[in-house]
C-alpha cells in the first residue's frame, strides 16, 4: 500500500485515540467494581470489550509511531533501563493475553546481566517487545510456549523472542518486515490477523536504535526473532 494511506490512517488514529482511551478507562473502572457489583456474564463480556479496546489502542499507537518514523518526525527520549525490571514490566503487559491462550511465557536472563542497563527510549523499546511477543502469542497454538531471552555478548545484549508456533515459510521471511504484509493469515484457524504493520514498526524502531531485527523460523516448529542492543 502507498505511504499516503498510512498518513490517512494516522490522521484518523489521532482522532480515535482520545475516545478509545476513555472507553478503556471506564471499562477498567467498571471491571474493578468502582460502579458496583457486576454479574459473571457481564464481567466476561466487559473483559472482551476491554481486550478489544487495548488492541485498538495498540494498533492506533503502532500506526502513529510508524507514520512519524516514515516522515522523519519521530523523536526519541533515551533513558537508563534496567534489563530485568524492564522485562518484568513487559511481562506484566502481556501475561493476561498469554493466560487467555494458555501459553506459558518464560523469561530467561543471563545471570551476568543482573543489574545491567541499556540506554534507549523505553516506550519505543517496549513497543518492539510487545509487538514481537504478541505475534509469538498470536501465531502459537493454545498450550504453546514463548521464551523471552536476554544473553550477554561482549558489550551487547542479545534479546530473543522464541515461540513454538506455526512458523514462517522461507519464501515469506523477507516479506514479513514490509508493512501490510502478512504470511500466515490465510490459515483458517488464525482469524486474529492485524494490519500487518507490527514488524515494519519493529524494524524501523530498531534501525533508529542502530540495530537490526533478525528471524530464524521453521514451518510447524516455531520462530525466533532476535536483535542486539548496546549495554549502557
Ligand X SMILES: Nc1ncnc2c1ncn2[C@@H]1O[C@H](COP(=O)(O)OP(=O)(O)OP(=O)(O)O)[C@@H](O)[C@H]1O
| Binding stretches for Mg ion (CB under 5 A) | 135, 198
Q: Answer for the pair 63, 197: CB distance below 8 angstroms, yes or no.
A: yes
Half-sphere exposure of 64 toward its Cβ, with a 13 Å CA cutoff?
A: 16
Q: Exposed/middle/buried for 13, CB within 10 Å: 0-12, 13-18, 19+? A: buried
Site string for ligand X, 85-124 (x = CB under 6 A): ----------------------------------------
Phi–psi pair at 97, nearest 5 degrees:
-60, -40
Nearer to Mg ion, 24 or 138 (CB): 138
Candidates 3-11, 43-51, 76-84, 178-186: pick the segment binding ligand X (CB under 6 A). Answer: 178-186
Nearer to Mg ion, 135 or 204 (CB): 135
Q: Answer for the pair 48, 56: CB distance below 8 angstroms, yes or no.
A: no
231 near ligand X, rule: CB under 6 A:
no
Output the nine-digit C-alpha cell for 55: 488492541
223 near ligand X, rule: CB under 6 A:
yes
Q: Answer for the pair 30, 46: CB distance below 8 angstroms, yes or no.
A: yes
CB of 41 to ligand X, least distance (A): 29
Could you say which of 194, 216, 230, 231 contacts ligand X (CB under 6 A)? 194
Half-sphere exposure of 21 toward its Cβ, with a 13 Å CA cutoff?
A: 8
CB of 184 to ligand X, least distance (A): 4
185 near ligand X, rule: CB under 6 A:
yes
User: Among Mg ion, ligand X, none, what binds residue 168 when CB lies within 5 to 8 Å by partner kind?
Assistant: ligand X
147 near ligand X, rule: CB under 6 A:
no
Chain residue whose CB lies nearest ligand X: 194
Between CA 19 and CA 46, with CA 61 as vertex, the angle to 5 degrees is 50
> How far apart are alpha carbons 162 and 222 in whole angstroms?
7
65 near ligand X, rule: CB under 6 A:
no
CB of 215 to ligand X, least distance (A): 8
CB of 23 to ligand X, least distance (A): 19
Question: In the beta sheet, which residues pair with residue 145?
Answer: 104
168 near ligand X, rule: CB under 6 A:
yes
Q: Answer for the pair 123, 65: CB distance below 8 angstroms, yes or no.
A: no
Which DSSP string corresponds to 172-199? GTTGGGSTT--SGGGSTT------S-HH
Nearer to Mg ion, 83 or 213 (CB): 213
Where do contacts with ligand X occur on this chain (CB under 6 A)? 131, 135-136, 139, 163, 165-168, 176, 181-185, 193-200, 223
Amino acid at each position: 500500500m502507498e505511504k499516503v494511506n498510512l498518513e490517512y490512517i494516522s490522521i484518523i488514529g489521532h482522532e480515535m485515540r482520545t475516545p478509545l482511551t476513555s472507553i478503556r478507562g471506564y471499562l477498567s473502572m467498571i471491571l474493578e467494581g468502582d460502579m458496583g457489583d457486576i454479574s459473571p456474564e457481564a464481567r466476561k463480556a466487559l473483559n472482551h470489550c476491554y481486550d478489544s479496546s487495548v488492541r485498538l489502542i495498540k494498533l492506533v499507537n503502532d500506526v502513529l509511531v510508524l507514520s512519524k518514523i516514515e516522515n522523519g518526525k519521530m523523536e526519541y527520549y533515551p533513558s537508563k533501563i534496567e534489563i530485568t525490571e524492564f522485562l518484568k514490566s513487559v511481562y506484566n503487559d502481556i501475561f493476561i493475553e498469554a493466560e487467555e491462550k494458555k501459553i506459558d511465557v518464560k523469561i530467561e536472563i543471563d545471570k551476568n546481566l543482573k543489574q545491567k542497563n541499556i540506554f534507549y527510549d523505553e516506550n519505543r523499546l517496549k513497543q518492539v517487545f510487545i509487538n514481537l511477543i504478541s505475534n509469538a502469542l498470536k501465531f502459537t497454538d493454545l498450550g504453546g510456549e514463548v521464551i523471552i531471552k536476554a544473553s550477554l555478548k561482549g558489550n551487547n545484549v542479545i534479546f530473543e523472542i522464541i515461540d513454538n508456533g506455526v512458523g514462517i515459510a522461507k519464501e515469506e521471511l523477507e516479506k514479513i518486515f514490509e508493512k501490510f504484509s502478512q504470511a500466515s493469515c490465510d490459515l483458517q484457524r488464525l482469524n486474529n490477523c492485524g494490519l500487518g504493520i507490527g514488524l515494519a514498526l519493529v524494524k524501523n524502531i530498531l534501525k533508529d536504535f542502530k540495530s537490526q531485527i533478525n528471524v530464524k523460523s521453521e514451518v510447524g516448529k516455531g520462530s525466533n526473532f532476535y536483535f542486539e542492543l548496546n549495554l549502557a
